[in-house]
Amino acid sequence: MAAGFFSASTFRQVGAAATTQNLLTIENIDATKLVWIRRITVQMDTTAALTAVSPLIKTSRTTGVPTGGTTLAKGQFDSTVATNANTIVRGSTASDGGANSGPTATAGTVVWEQFMTRLHTAVGQVLAPDMSCLPMLVDLEDFVLRQNEALMVHIVAAATASNPATNHYVVNVCWEEN
């Protein structure tokens, strides 16, 4: 059945000082092959206090195939199994902390959402745990991307001040291809 597992990771992405920001998309444009998402996580570091509500990280299917952004390299779980060129992962920047430039996509129904962290006062230790962007059981229950389907991880903030450039995000995704 499965041809193999693969993963990709965004560079460190800074907050866009906007109420919405697209962090990562994964799309399947292959006519016959399937993509199963097995794990998708986001981590966040924030260096400034925020007393308003945390940004929400939402995961949605998109209403079309994403465009723009930075196409990310794909890691192989087995060096003898090549990833399908029609599986495309996009982030918003081509370097850690670099300028954001997409990706562009229209979010559909939200599949999962997760509050991110915030510092009510900027004291003490700051950790960046994995926040699951899909239910954990997708490693067992297939979450499928068929031809021209895509999944997007995006920020929805209550106010632009909740998503400042002092926020930093990393998104990781692991998937399976047949």
Partner 1 sequence: MAVVFRGTAQSLTIVGNDEVAQNLFVIENGFKSRVNVIIRRLTFGLDSLVVLTSVQNVLKVSRCTAVSGGVILDKAKFVNTETSDSNVVIRAQANETARITATAGDTMWTQFGARMHTAVEQQQPEIDSSRFSFRNLIPQSALATTDLVLRPGNALLVKVIASAAASNAQISTNYAVRCMWEEDSITTFAISGTVTLGGSPVDGAKVMVIEADDAALTNAHLYEVKTTAGGGLWASTIRTGKVGAAFVQYQNGGTYYTAPGSPYLS
Can you give the binding site for partner 1, defined by CB under 8 A? 5, 7-10, 12, 38-39, 41, 43-45, 47, 73-80, 96-97, 119, 122-130, 132, 136-137, 139-140, 168, 170, 172, 174, 176
| Residue closer to partner 1, measured from CB, 42 or 107 | 42
CB of 44 to partner 1, least distance (A): 8
Amino acid at 27: E
Cβ of 147: how many Cβ atoms within 10 Å?
15
DSSP string across 139-172: GTS--EE-TTEEEEEEEE-SSGGGS-TTEEEEEE
Q: How far apart are CA 112 and CA 169, in angstroms?
A: 17
Report the residue number, 107 or 162, with the smaller CB distance to partner 1: 162
* Shortest Å, Cβ 11 to partner 1: 8
Which of 81, 110 has the CB closer to partner 1?
Answer: 81
Shortest separation between residue 63's beta carbon and partner 1, angstroms: 28
Whose Cβ is closer to partner 1: residue 27's or residue 176's?
A: 176
Peptide bond into 135 cis (omega under 30): no
The distance of closest approach from Cβ of residue 52 to partner 1 in the complex, given in angstroms and rounded to an integer, is 19
What's the min distance (Å) between Cβ of 136 and partner 1?
A: 7
Choice between 106 and 126, CB closer to partner 1? 126
Using DSSP, state whether 111 is helix, strand or coil.
strand
Q: How far is CA 113 from CA 91, 116, 155, 169, 170, in A?
A: 19, 10, 10, 15, 16
Phi, psi of 86 (to 5 degrees): -85, 0
Which CB atom, from 79 or from 109, has the smaller least distance to partner 1?
79
CA distance 168 to 44: 5
CB of 89 to partner 1, least distance (A): 11
